[in-house]
A and B are shown apart, each in its own frame.
Chain A
Amino acid sequence: MISSELLGAFQGIFPGVITTVSKENIPNLSYISQVHYIDNEHLAISWQFFNKTYKNIQDNPNFSVVVTSPTTFSMWKIDMNFIESLTEGDLFDEIEMALEAIASMYKAEDIFKLQAIMIGKIVSIEQQFDGYEN
């Protein structure tokens, strides 16, 4: 179940990361701008510059993201399986608009251009830190 606190961590205030594994079993880390909630089993990741990530996912569809709440500093690791990538459609447009808002906040509109979105199925959610007040 995805809590409202976890949803707040998807906004991209704290840059999250995505990890994949190459066929040589080498981990790859890449920053992500935004995680988008689809439903309790599926998330979309904004996909901007994931050259190595894309290559690794062809060999191993498992990936993980780590996100952090900007209000409580709670952190979660979400293990997922890659389903598909999309370059158009309502969901793409919605994420593109949200990304533009983040870009504007960081005054970096030119480097936040969305290339695609990556849809994944949630395998597990692990809370790594439960916030500074708990």
Chain B
Amino acid sequence: MIVPEYYINLIKKRDTFGYLACLNNNQFCNVCRSSGIYVIDQEFLKTIYMPSLSPDLLKNLQINPQMTVTILSNYTFECYQFKGKYCSHENISDEDERFKDKYLQGMVSVIGELGFNLDKVLTGKYSKLVAVTLIMRVEEIYEQTPKRGTGNKINLLNHVI
């Protein structure tokens, strides 16, 4: 699936919250916060994952590659869920590290506007946690923006932004 430019741009804004999930062997999910999401080559989504938050997630993805990533725009409440297959992981690059820092800055800024000071997240141990990037091939996109009738799979052929 080619991810439309609209979603690529929404993800790039860095004022989103993101999570990733996969299935574990107890029929629950491994799920944790992502520290950065972006689209590469229009059909692959890269998400920054900190293994210490959910240590079994990567191991379980290698058993069952079905993977889900969701993003929520903090200002517009637009929300989309990307479903697809885990392809690979790699060490975080300098570019990814810069992206992660800006992503965290965006998140801290949003929460700051609500009266909560999380500036230490940017310099404390969270920012120093080991991170890797996971690559997934996007197969489906679902709308989850809170509104009546939400939750449907987006039919990209008929989708007009």
Contact = CB atoms under 8 A, between A and B. Distances in A.
A and B form one complex: yes
A28 interface: yes
B7 interface: no
Interface residues of B, number: 42
B53 A49 contact: no
Most chain-B Cβ atoms within 10 A of its Cβ — which of A29, A62, A63? A29
Given A21-B27, A64-B31, A70-B111, A132 B17 contact: no
B52 to A, nearest CB: 8
Contacts, number: 119
A73 B118 contact: yes
Interface residues of A, number: 41
Interface string B109-144: 001001010101100111001000000000000101
B14 interface: no
22 contacts: A14-B111, A19-B21, A25-B23, A27-B31, A28-B81, A31-B70, A48-B146, A49-B150, A52-B151, A64-B29, A64-B31, A66-B32, A66-B33, A68-B33, A71-B116, A73-B120, A105-B114, A111-B146, A123-B28, A128-B52, A129-B52, A132-B124
